[in-house]
Every structure is written in C-alpha cells, then in structure tokens.
Structure 1
Amino acid sequence: MNGDWLIRGRDGRLSVYLPSGDAVLCRAERGPDGLWGVPRTVGGDQKLHPGLLGIGQGADGYAHLVSWRPTVPGESGLVHSTHFRPRLTALDWTPVGHPDRTGDRTGVPAVAVDAEGRAHLFVRNKAGGVSMLAQREKGGWDPWRDLKGSDVHQDLAAVTGESGRVELYAAVPGAILHWRQLEPGAQPVLEEAMEARIRPGTLRALATSPETTTLYYTDDSGDLCAWRPGGKPLTLLPSAGPGPVSAVRCELDGHDCTLLAQRSASGRVAFAAYPTEQESAGAWWTESGPQLPADAEVSLALDENDRVAAATLSPSTGQLLVTRRKDEPGLALEAWREV
C-alpha cells in the first residue's frame, strides 16, 4: 500500500484499508467505545491485482483509492474509488485508463488530494518517467500528463501541502526528484533534483509548515534522513528497520511535533518524536508492542480527539493491531489490541 491506510474519516471515526486477495477491505470504528465493525469490500465486485493500492485523503475527509485491475490478457488498467464516510459504502471502482494507453502494470500508484477535493493520481510509465491524472472540479478527469523523468523507482511519495497544492517526490539512481504545483490546479513542474543514494521503497512525505513539505527516506548507509526542497538533507537517526516510516504531526505537551513510526529490525514498532522541522533537536527510537511478522506495516493518524493512534497490519496473516496515546503527558500508549 502507498499512503496512509489508517485515516480519520469525516465523521471522526478511524478506519483502515486492508488488501485481501483481489479486493480491498475497509474496517471502521463503530463508535467512541473502541469497537470496530466487520470488514467490508470497497468498490463493488471489481477484481483487482493484489498489493498495488494507492490511498490519499483530502481536507474534506474523503478517501480516494486507486488500484490496478486486469483487463484483457497481459494488460491492466487503473481504477479509482471515493469513500465519503468509513461506515458508508464506497463508490464502485471506476476505470481511469493507463498512463501509456495500453499495457500491463507499470508501478504502484500514489494519490494526493488538493484543497478543492480533486484527486491527483501519479504512477510510473513504461518509459521510466512519471505520468499524472487529475480530477476535474466538476467531475470527470483531465487527460493523462507526462511529467517526464527517467529511471524512476516505482514507489512514489505524493503529498498535499498546507497551501492545498500537490507535490510529488520520486527516487532515481543517485537522486531525488521533486515536482510541485505553482498554482492550484496547475500541472506540477519538476523543480529540483537533489543528489542522494536511497534505499528503494523508503519514501514518505509530510506537510510540515505552511510553505514546505518534508521527505523522509533511508539512505544507502541505513540512516533515516529528512529533506525539504531548497535545503540540504539532514540525518535524523539510524533507521529502525528496512521499510518506510509513517509520519504524523501532533501536539505533545504543548509542542508541535512530528511523530515517526517504523517496524524495527526486532519485529516491534519503534516510535520517535521531535519538534517539527527541528531535526537538530535529535530523536531516538522507543519500541512498543509485540513482535510482528516480517511483512507487517505501520500507520499513524489522529483520532477525533486529536490523540495519536497507531495501527499495524500483516498482509500474510490479516492481523490488525491498534493502540492510542494515553491521556497523560509524554507519549505513553495504551496496550496494543487486536481488532
């Protein structure tokens, strides 16, 4: 999955999106008592390719999901669904085409939603660059646009800044590429290429101020780094494990902080927090919860009371664990529980 799969919906309830064979399932909280509903299939009966899901959420709380579906033998197409509220049925999957008109899967899609609620879909194309498809404000989709680039890794990081404009990060051999909308609704333009040696599959972006977003990635030495376009990358701390971090901004003891979470090499979830955009303050990992399967992923969100919530999901076992921050100083968490 690409994007935050634990989200707070428009009704304040938390929900998670779970890949399950050739479908995507959603589980949502039933109420403030912490009970969760049964899994429900997203998007109707359309069969999907497993494990290629992009998720984005707008300021309106709506979730946008994009995945690949088989079409004719040897070819695939992308489909999109909107989920307005976690406890309601999502819209059926709608075909949105292919970045090269025809062909098979080209990469994992990434989704960001602008201030007007328009989804922007990004995916690698067969030439090795990036293509984008954007919703029109009054319905339908604009034509596919080629954002250029070459030798792009298939995992992209899309993010919406506090300005409501969409940005995209991609890794290429020896560098990171950054695209940004200069005006709302405009085609993102390639603004910067920053030299860096990155471990594939470790990009994660977060809006961290009114004008900037921060990209987190693991470099080839195993360090977790933070980069804001226009500046130099900063080493934050050694990576806790091999995959990408999840990141969320939250208030901790009256301070604007960024909280990171990652499945550690030991198999548990590791957390680290620091004042937002103040990497020089330092950060350190604290592990929590039980040991998890090797394929377990972690995601962070804020609940209806703006408390930090965390979830882990193992696609191989289907095990879903959740926890929340306790109502006390610091980052003490409730006991992890299976739902």
Structure 2
Amino acid sequence: MNGDWLIRGRDGRLSVYLTSDDAVLCRAERAPGGPWDGPRRVGGDQRVHPVLAVGHGADGYAHLVSWRPTVKAEAGLVHSVHYRPLLAPLDWAPVGHPDRRGARTGPPAVAVDAEGRAHVFVQDKATGLGMLVQKEKGGWEPWRDLGGKGIEGPPVAVAGESGRIEVYAAVSGGILHWRQEEAGGPPRLEEALEAPVRPGTLRALATSAEHTTLFYTDGSGEVWAWRPGTKPAPLLAAAGAGPVAAIRCALDGHDCTLLAQRSASGRVAFAAYPTEQESAGAWWAESGPQLASDAEVALAVDHEDRVVAATLSPSTGRLLLSRRKDEPVLALTAWQEV
C-alpha cells in the first residue's frame, strides 16, 4: 500500500484499507473510539490487483486508486472515493493508463489538494512520471507527462499546508522532486538530490507552511530527512526495512514529528523529535508484540487528537491498534487486535 492507510474521517471515526487477492477491503470504527466493523469490499464486485494508493483530503474524504485487469496482459487504473467510514465507498471508476493502454507500470500514488481534487501519479512505460488530475466539477483532465526518467519503486505524493501538491520519486543514485507552482497547475520538476537512496523507502509529510519533508533510507541503512532547497539531514539508523510511517502531533505541548517502523526484531519502533529540528536527535523505542514479516505500520490521530498506531499484516489480515495514554511523553496502551 502507498499512502496513509489508517485515516480519521470527517465524523471522527477511524478507518483502515487493506488489499486482498482481487479486492480492496475497508474496516471502520462503529463509533469514534469504539468497536470495529468487519472487512467490507470496496467498489462492488469489480476485481482489482492487490495494489492500493490512498490519499486523504482536508475534507476528510479518502481517495483510493488501484489497478484492475482489462484485456489479456493489460490493466487500467481505477479510482474510488470514501466519504464517510460507515458509508460504502463509491464504485471503482476507470481513469485510464499513462500510456493509454498496456500492462501495469508501477504502484500509483495519490494526493488531494485544498479544493478536494485528487492528483494521481504513476510511472509510465518509459520510467518517467505520468499524472492525472480531477476537474473541479467532475471528470478528469487529460494525462500529463511530468518528465523524469529511471524511476525506481513507487513515487510518493503529498499536499503541503498550502494545498499545493509535491511529488518525490527515487532514481538510481538520487531523488527527483516535483512541485506545483500554483493550485491546479502541473507539478514541475524542480530539483534532483544526489543520494544513495533505497527505492521503496520514501515517505513525505507536510511539516510547515513552507515545506514538506521527505524521509528516506540510504544504502547503509540510515534514515534521512530532506526538505528541498536544503541539505538532507541524517536522523537515525533504520529500525527495519521499508518506509517509515510519519505524522505530526503534539507531544507534551510541542510540535513533534513521530516516526514508526516495523523493526528487525519484529516489533514496532517509535522515534520522535521537534518538527524540522533533526539536529535535536531521535532514538527508537520498541513496543508491542512480534509481528508477521509483512506487517505494515501506520499512524494517525483520533477524535480526541490522541496518537493512534496500527499494524496490519496483508497475509493474515490481522489488525492491531494502540493509542497514546493521557500521560507524559509517548506512553501507549496495550496493543489490541480488532
């Protein structure tokens, strides 16, 4: 999955999205902080590939993008919107292919701007970046070629606090960065960072009115933070493989960035530091039981603005949650399966 698959809806309920062999499933709280419903299939009976991108708008709506099979050896992207956790998501709607037609080209990414328009990004067959944007009054603009070449792994897309969209993608020996100059306009390739980045480890977060921060892991296993226009800053050694989960939250009255990752030991590791102050340092602290090797970690804040951590194993469907206690620092409740 690409994006924040643990989401707080506009009614305060949390929901999660997961993939199965031929479907995307969702689960939601029956009431904020209450028990959870069982898995429900997204998009009716349409079959999709086990790939999912999730984007979350300021309006609380979740935008879902996946690939579905079309004719033999080909696929097309589909899009759905989930307005409220206890409502059924909209049926999957086809939105095309960056090369008009062909096989799957790579995992998509999706971000939602200040006007609630979804921006879909995916690698094309030439290993550049293609983009599709919703129109304000329904429908979609034509596919755009954003350039770039040699993309490796999934791109990541994020809406800054201004609502403008930024996109990052790993290439051999570096990272490409696109940014919208104006709302609704095409993101432009602005900067390339030379860095020994591991594809599949990128995570982006809006960290101030001016900046988004990209977290990535380098070839030696170090997690770095990079804000375009500045030099990347080393944070700490990665606790495990894959991207970190990241969220901004208030810890003891301070604006902090909280990271989480499945550690090499199989537990969830957490690290926090003052937002955009990487020089303050960060250290991992592990929590919870040992997880399956494919378990993913996500972070959100609930209806009471408490940090919520979730782990989900695609192979087993096992969902575990923990919430921050009303105590100093980052004390968590016991992990519970829901």
Q: Is 1:38 matched with 2:16? A: no
Residue type of the partner of 1:114?
Answer: D
Counterpart of 2:279 in 1: which secondary structure? helix
What is the TM-score when the length of structure 1 is the normalising length?
0.99
Match of 2:70 in 1: 71
Gaps of 5+ in 1: none
Residue type of the partner of 1:121?
Answer: V
Counterpart-to-counterpart distance in 1, 2:123 and 2:189 = 15
Residue 57 of structure 1 deviates from its aligned partner by 0.6
1:94-173 to structure 2, matched below 5 A, reads 94-173=93-172
Counterpart-to-counterpart distance in 2, 1:30 and 1:214 = 34
Residue 247 of structure 1 deviates from its aligned partner by 0.3
Match of 1:279 in 2: 278
Residue 317 of structure 1 deviates from its aligned partner by 1.1
Counterpart of 1:194 in 2: which secondary structure? strand
What are the Cα deviations for residues 160-200 of structure 1, in whole angstroms up to 9, with x where unaligned? 00000000000000111000000000000000001001111
Counterpart of 1:271 in 2: which secondary structure? strand
Residue type of the partner of 1:253?
Answer: D
Counterpart-to-counterpart distance in 2, 1:313 and 1:55 = 15
Match of 1:316 in 2: 315
1:264-303 to structure 2, matched below 5 A, reads 264-303=263-302
Counterpart-to-counterpart distance in 2, 1:33 and 1:141 = 36
Match of 2:241 in 1: 242
Counterpart-to-counterpart distance in 2, 1:278 and 1:132 = 32
Counterpart of 1:280 in 2: which secondary structure? helix
Q: Is 1:256 matched with 2:260? A: no
Asked if the contact 1:106/1:154 (under 8 Å) is kept, the reply is no
Residue type of the partner of 1:69?
Answer: R
Counterpart-to-counterpart distance in 2, 1:93 and 1:40 = 14
Counterpart-to-counterpart distance in 2, 1:320 and 1:243 = 19
1:319-338 to structure 2, matched below 5 A, reads 319-338=318-337
Residue 252 of structure 1 deviates from its aligned partner by 0.3
Q: Is 1:23 matched with 2:48? A: no
Asked if the contact 1:123/1:154 (under 8 Å) is kept, the reply is no
Residue type of the partner of 2:54?
Answer: I
Counterpart of 2:152 in 1: which secondary structure? coil
Match of 2:4 in 1: 4
Residue type of the partner of 2:189?
Answer: L
The runs of 4+ residues in structure 1 deviating greater than 4 Å are none
What are the Cα deviations for residues 225-258 of structure 1, in whole angstroms up to 9, with x where unaligned? 0000001110000000011000000000000000
What are the Cα deviations for residues 7-31 of structure 1, in whole angstroms up to 9, with x where unaligned? 0001111100011210111110111
Match of 2:179 in 1: 180
Q: How many pairs align?
A: 338
Residue type of the partner of 2:126?
Answer: A
Counterpart of 1:273 in 2: which secondary structure? strand
Asked if the contact 2:12/2:32 (under 8 Å) is kept, the reply is no
Residue 38 of structure 1 deviates from its aligned partner by 1.4
Asked if the contact 2:205/2:214 (under 8 Å) is kept, the reply is yes
Counterpart-to-counterpart distance in 2, 1:333 and 1:199 = 31
Residue type of the partner of 1:61?
Answer: G
Residue 34 of structure 1 deviates from its aligned partner by 2.6
- Aligned alpha-carbon RMSD (Å): 0.6
Counterpart of 2:153 in 1: which secondary structure? coil
Residue type of the partner of 1:74?
Answer: A
Gaps of 5+ in 2: none
Distance 1:10 1:225, change over 3 A: same
Counterpart-to-counterpart distance in 1, 2:59 and 2:10 = 7
